[in-house]
A = this chain, B = another copy of it.
Amino acid sequence: MRNTTIQTACFFCMLFFSINTFGQEPVDFVNPLIGTSNYGAAFPGPIAPRGMASISPFNVAGPQNRPLEKDSQWLSNPYVNENTFLTGFSQVNLSGVGCPDLGVLLLMPTTGAVETNHLKYGSTYSKEVAKTGYYSVDIDKYKIKGEFTASKRVGVSKFTFPKGKSNILLNLGLGLTNEEGAMLKVVSSTEIEGMRTVGSFCYNSPEDAYPVYFVAKFSKPANHFGVWKKTPKYEGTEAQWMGYNGKTRMMKNTIKTVVGDSIGTYFSYEFDKKETVEVKIGVSYVSIENARENLERETGGKSFDAVYKETYDEWNKELSKILVEGGSYQDKVIFYTALYHTLIHPNTLNDINGEYPQIKRTKIGRTTDTRYTVFSLWDTYRNMHPLTSLVYPKQQSDMIKSMLEMYDENGWLPKWELNSTETFTMVGDPASIVIVDACLRGIQDFDIYKAYHAMLKGADQFEENPLRPGLKEYLDKGYLSTNYPGPVSTTLEYNTSDYAISLLAKALGEKEDYKRFTKRSLSYRKLYDKDLKLLRPRTATDNWYEPFDPIAGANFQANVGFIEGNAWQYAFMVPHDIRGLIKLMGGDKPFSDQLQKVFDIKQFDMANEPDIAYPYLFNYVKGEEWKSQEMVHKLVREHFKNEPKGLPGNDDTGTMSAWLVYSMMGFYPISPGDPIYTLTTPMFDKITIQLDPRYYKKENIVIQREINSDGKIKEIQLNGKTLNSFFISHDDFVNGTTLKVIQE
């Protein structure tokens, strides 16, 4: 999704990367600094697989960090690798998104007198070390070393202070977005409880701003503690009475509850030698009590090192579901880091006792599995969820169950759900695709009929339908007119969803629905402009929209017709009907030429989803498959690197990373909803994907590459038998044993 290209040089990359540990386990190949520049929007700090809590260094506040400063430009991440001014460590964070949210509960160690203004207490930093589940950094101004790890719902920080007066600040005012409002109470000299308002994602639906609750426990009792509150500035007669007007009030050693927009606490220590303090911060979206229970049950009695070890092991277990052999160290790093990035979102919403806030926060729900959240479905339906279905099917199943719970709670499947708020970001009705795709890949341990019913509601209900605005026109005309924003894009999204529904209808024997939705899925054809060989917006009177510039819309510029893209970037976004599109375009050659032109005229955008499958589309033209092989390889090399700017743009909650994981393994889910893959050259000699016996019959799939050249594929064999196309069904794939790709 949203991304802006930036050319700022990465001054510090070499320095940081020389420190990375070289190990042998998959987990040791992860470099969390990848994607922390170039608007990748990843953060380098620790998180457990699909964790609720995470810790990120926060360096996007303060004029020192301009231009990549959170208030002076749109910035969706708490950390930017080239920034230099650190103002704390946020305890809840989003990874790889295009809008800011979370990035709050800022913990900051300082020394000397307590200073509560982050512009004054901030510092440069050095000696960053980022590993799976671990981050450390030296805070220059104070000569403090910070180390960080996390369990699923608890961030653990460890500060090594020099001798003298030291402080740990928990700033509840500063945060990534403009949302404000916090409450806190110092429970004792070792504990703080409270909440902070976060949301609303993209500044949409601001009434849905919601609380994150927390409990912080300190390993050493503070010698002094206190709360600060900055008072808003009053004017007029009444201001004369307030000596403290606009100033910060310091409240010492108090256990009273303090609320406000700009508040924080400090815990101060007097050390007569170098000392460490560990701070555990448990979070919850339900209550302070649950945050405390999360903290106690996940990390109670455990040292920093013990928590780190558990998270490290958990990551290694997850990442080891795919073992790669051969290939360079750097390739292993970008591969496992990408796999790591696909295991961050969707993440856990429920507390350890099973409780979670239901959609719209009208009730507290309870789950015995995992309630997932952060469904950036417009991004993730394309490849992230199919990958999860293959490698982590139980997680995918729980994600579908979470989506169906949302339907129960809210009456609608999610569109872009975040911590039980529906942000309604982006267009289309992607939940149906995700569910059908998983179902047809064999994940069926959920209420399929309920899911089908939910899909039909979203696809058919005209009145107050939050998922498909313009549905009536879409059904009347076959497309949305320029009366709606991004009408071509939205039409294509609806078509794709309708295709997925048609597949499920067919599987369920719902013949009428099958026919109906199959027909609906092809209506994009009415937007095909034969002269331009592009899809083009039409007005409400069915005329082509004029004046029409097919280039307009590149680099996320707003334009009539398309959302986050232009006519070139959407021309082939009919993954379910590429063969139909080939016919429309006049056959293989014109199709292939037009597809090639996208790249030639530099309209292919690796940093966004609409055209993400383009490199694979040459596989639809017999004899041109080598172009896909070349293009995918080229794009991998060009856009994915072991460096902070090593992602093409926003990771989009793992979508870019999932693209890389697939592309390096040599297959890609070319038509979301359809359980098929198209094939290309793997970038490792051998890839072993462990299959979950609860969902798959075979123990694993092995992909082998023969002849170590980068030449064209000569032959592909499944269990020794030659495949006669560059497509393979999911069933054949998971029930085969070995896929061998033989290069020339």
Which residues from chain A sit less than 8 Å from chain B, CB to CB? 70-74, 178, 180-183, 195, 197, 203, 206-211, 213, 229, 231-232, 234, 236-239, 241-244, 249-261, 357, 360-364
Q: Inside 8 A of A251's CB, which chain B residues have their CB?
A: 207-209
In the complex the two chains form, what is the Cα distance from A625 to B234 in whole Å? Answer: 54
Chain B nearest CB, measured from A543 CB (Å): 32
- Contact check: which of B72, B238, B357 meets A256 at CB < 8 Å? B357
Chain B nearest CB, measured from A598 CB (Å): 32
Q: Contact at B211–A241, with CB atoms within 8 Å?
A: no
Q: Contact at B195–A71, with CB atoms within 8 Å?
A: no
Chain B nearest CB, measured from A242 CB (Å): 6
For A195, give the chain B residue with the smallest CB separation: B257
Q: Inside 8 A of A207's CB, which chain B residues have their CB?
A: 244, 249-252
Q: Inside 8 A of A181's CB, which chain B residues have their CB?
A: 229, 258-260
Q: Contact at A232–B180, with CB atoms within 8 Å?
A: yes
- Contact check: which of B203, B211, B234 meets A178 at CB < 8 Å? B234
In the complex the two chains form, what is the Cα distance from A239 to B71 in whole Å? Answer: 9
Q: Contact at A197–B259, with CB atoms within 8 Å?
A: yes
Q: Contact at B183–A249, with CB atoms within 8 Å?
A: no
Q: Inside 8 A of A178's CB, which chain B residues have their CB?
A: 234, 238-239, 241-242
In the complex the two chains form, what is the Cα distance from A73 to B260 in whole Å? Answer: 26
13 inter-chain pairs at a CB distance below 8 angstroms, sorted by A residue, are: A70-B238, A73-B237, A178-B234, A183-B257, A183-B259, A195-B257, A197-B258, A203-B241, A203-B243, A206-B244, A211-B257, A255-B357, A259-B259
Other A-B contacts than A197-B260, A259-B259, A260-B261, 12 sampled, CB-CB below 8 A, are: A72-B238, A73-B237, A74-B241, A180-B232, A182-B259, A183-B183, A195-B259, A203-B243, A203-B244, A211-B258, A211-B259, A255-B362
- For A195, A239, A257, which residue has the most chain B Cβ atoms within 10 angstroms? A257
Q: Contact at B71–A260, with CB atoms within 8 Å?
A: no
- For A183, A244, A251, which residue has the most chain B Cβ atoms within 10 angstroms? A183
Across the A-B interface, give the 6 residue pairs with the lowest CB-CB distance, nearest first: A206-B244, A181-B259, A256-B361, A207-B249, A71-B238, A211-B257
Chain B nearest CB, measured from A468 CB (Å): 23
In the complex the two chains form, what is the Cα distance from A725 to B476 in whole Å? Answer: 107
- For A72, A256, A258, which residue has the most chain B Cβ atoms within 10 angstroms? A256
Q: Inside 8 A of A242's CB, which chain B residues have their CB?
A: 178, 203, 206
Q: Inside 8 A of A255's CB, which chain B residues have their CB?
A: 357, 361-364
Q: Inside 8 A of A259's CB, which chain B residues have their CB?
A: 181-183, 195, 197, 211, 259-260
Knowing A206-B244, A231-B206 touch, does A256 contact B211 (C-beta < 8 A)?
yes
For A257, give the chain B residue with the smallest CB separation: B211
Q: Inside 8 A of A180's CB, which chain B residues have their CB?
A: 232, 260
Chain B nearest CB, measured from A593 CB (Å): 42
Q: Contact at A71–B236, with CB atoms within 8 Å?
A: yes
Q: Inside 8 A of A363's CB, which chain B residues have their CB?
A: 255
Knowing A237-B72, A360-B253 touch, does A261 contact B232 (C-beta < 8 A)?
yes
- Contact check: which of B74, B237, B249, B261 meets A261 at CB < 8 Å? B261
Q: Contact at A232–B231, with CB atoms within 8 Å?
A: no
In the complex the two chains form, what is the Cα distance from A317 to B253 in whole Å? Answer: 42
Chain B nearest CB, measured from A358 CB (Å): 9
Q: Contact at B254–A361, with CB atoms within 8 Å?
A: yes
Q: Inside 8 A of A244's CB, which chain B residues have their CB?
A: 203, 206-207
In the complex the two chains form, what is the Cα distance from A256 to B261 in whole Å? Answer: 17
In the complex the two chains form, what is the Cα distance from A209 to B251 in whole Å? Answer: 9
Knowing A74-B241, A180-B260, A195-B259 touch, does A254 contact B206 (C-beta < 8 A)?
no
Q: Inside 8 A of A210's CB, which chain B residues have their CB?
A: 256
Q: Inside 8 A of A257's CB, which chain B residues have their CB?
A: 183, 195, 211, 213
Knowing A206-B244, A242-B203, A242-B206 touch, does A360 contact B254 (C-beta < 8 A)?
yes
In the complex the two chains form, what is the Cα distance from A102 to B125 in whole Å? Answer: 46
In the complex the two chains form, what is the Cα distance from A181 to B260 in whole Å? Answer: 5
In the complex the two chains form, what is the Cα distance from A206 to B357 in whole Å? Answer: 36
In the complex the two chains form, what is the Cα distance from A96 to B259 in whole Å? Answer: 29
Chain B nearest CB, measured from A227 CB (Å): 9
Q: Inside 8 A of A243's CB, which chain B residues have their CB?
A: 203, 206
In the complex the two chains form, what is the Cα distance from A229 to B181 in whole Å? Answer: 10
Q: Inside 8 A of A231's CB, which chain B residues have their CB?
A: 206
In the complex the two chains form, what is the Cα distance from A282 to B326 in whole Å? Answer: 70
In the complex the two chains form, what is the Cα distance from A232 to B179 in whole Å? Answer: 10
Chain B nearest CB, measured from A292 CB (Å): 15
Chain B nearest CB, measured from A588 CB (Å): 46
In the complex the two chains form, what is the Cα distance from A203 to B238 in whole Å? Answer: 11
Q: Contact at B249–A206, with CB atoms within 8 Å?
A: yes
Chain B nearest CB, measured from A278 CB (Å): 25
For A227, give the chain B residue with the smallest CB separation: B207
Q: Inside 8 A of A252's CB, which chain B residues have their CB?
A: 207
Chain B nearest CB, measured from A623 CB (Å): 50
Q: Inside 8 A of A357's CB, which chain B residues have their CB?
A: 255-256
Chain B nearest CB, measured from A502 CB (Å): 36
- Contact check: which of B70, B73, B203, B362 meets A253 at CB < 8 Å? B362
